[in-house]
Structure 1
Amino acid sequence: MDRMDRVDTIARPAAAAGALFVDEEGRVLIVEPTYKRHWEIPGGEVEKGESPSEACARELKEELGLDLPVGRLLVVDWAPLVREERVRFVFDGGVLTDEQLDAVELAPDELASWAFLPCEELFVMMEPRLVRRVTAAVDARAAGVTRYLEDGRVV
């Protein structure tokens, strides 16, 4: 079978990238999208021609009004769904200062609000799969490593 015969069998996952930001107390920054029920970390879809880190930086600028460098990769999560396969990247956004938080300007058509939550309380606001991904990113940040996940679980 040549490549052209295999086109329908090759995975083409939708990619997205987000940033893990924490405050001085180690709580995680989460945002409330206007277009879905669950909260998430800031970030969004990777567009054609851009890398995941470029997409993350662009999304932070669009969603939060913050022009910040994107830190190291914390986790890559293979996140299959019934409709599509997805790959999600989480980068280290670092600790946000009071000055940076004062400069946050939410994109009103995308985000309604933001909050900091302790890791153990994320399940209240986020989908279980995303809680697993963010928790793994928090752990990877603390350990100074990058982790590979499948459906939010360390493999």
Structure 2
Amino acid sequence: MTANETPPMATPRVAAGALFFNDEGHVLLVRPNYKNHWDIPGGYVEPGESPRAACIREVEEELGLAPPIGPMLVVDWAPTESEGDKILFIFDGGALSTTQEHSIRFADGEVAEWRYVPAHDLEQHSPARLARRIRTAIAVQSNGGSTYAEHGIAI
């Protein structure tokens, strides 16, 4: 390598989402029109945007809500063969009130529906790697902390 060359470095895609719960501890999932599975509200981070800011923006775009977003629960190194390197953040959205639930509007048209799902049913709605990431976030949220994960599994 010459002095003018830089070493190869990862350029991962970065996404962020929020974990919302109901009073029974079930997780809010959304069904995007462009995916074959359910997901948590969120999306890709735009250039110059922080993961937390992206999470707030995506929740407002997808659900028409601007609830307070709490601390980061999980940062997950989760590359895929089809999309390459990925770093995925989950932030604590807390519990939505009944009023907030009734105010959900699919502002940007990307989401077709939403529902609460018990943790033990996550694989019926989403890929196993996403279910692992959500379960890791649930465990961390109940203990009041944050964690680093790889492929959804806390390290």
| TM-score, normalising length: structure 1 | 0.95
- In the alignment, structure 2 segments of 5+ residues that lack a partner are none
Q: Distance in 2 between matches of 1:94 and 1:135?
A: 15
Shift of 1:5: 2.4
**Per the alignment, in what secondary structure is the counterpart of residue 93 of structure 1?**
strand
Shift of 1:107: 3.4
Q: CA RMSD, aligned part only?
A: 1.4
Q: In the alignment, what sits opposite 2:26?
A: 27
Q: In the alignment, what sits opposite 2:49?
A: 50
**Per the alignment, in what secondary structure is the counterpart of residue 5 of structure 2?**
helix
Q: In the alignment, what sits opposite 1:12?
A: 11
Shift of 1:153: 1.0
Q: In the alignment, what sits opposite 2:93?
A: 93
Q: In the alignment, what sits opposite 1:36?
A: 35
Q: In the alignment, what sits opposite 1:109?
A: 109
**Per the alignment, in what secondary structure is the counterpart of residue 6 of structure 2?**
helix
Deviation sequence 1:2-29 (CA, Å, 0-9, x none): 675235x200111000000000110000
Which one is further off, 58-67 or 104-113? Answer: 104-113
Shift of 1:85: 0.1
**Per the alignment, in what secondary structure is the counterpart of residue 6 of structure 1?**
coil
Is the CA contact (8 Å cut-off) linking 2:61 and 2:108 kept in structure 1? no
From the superposition, tell whether residues 37 and 24 of structure 1 become closer, same or farther in structure 2 (CA, over 3 Å).
same
The 5 A counterparts of 1:136-155 are 136-155=136-155
Q: Distance in 1 between matches of 2:2 and 2:23?
A: 54
From the superposition, tell whether residues 105 and 80 of structure 1 become closer, same or farther in structure 2 (CA, over 3 Å).
same
Q: In the alignment, what sits opposite 1:129?
A: 129
AA aligned to 1:104 is I
From the superposition, tell whether residues 134 and 3 of structure 1 become closer, same or farther in structure 2 (CA, over 3 Å).
farther
Is the CA contact (8 Å cut-off) linking 2:123 and 2:131 kept in structure 1? yes
Shift of 1:109: 2.7
AA aligned to 2:93 is G
- In the alignment, structure 1 segments of 5+ residues that lack a partner are none
Q: Distance in 1 between matches of 2:107 and 2:151?
A: 29
Q: Distance in 2 between matches of 1:3 and 1:16?
A: 34
From the superposition, tell whether residues 25 and 11 of structure 1 become closer, same or farther in structure 2 (CA, over 3 Å).
same
Identity among equivalent positions (%) equals: 45
**Per the alignment, in what secondary structure is the counterpart of residue 5 of structure 1?**
coil
| TM-score, normalising length: structure 2 | 0.95
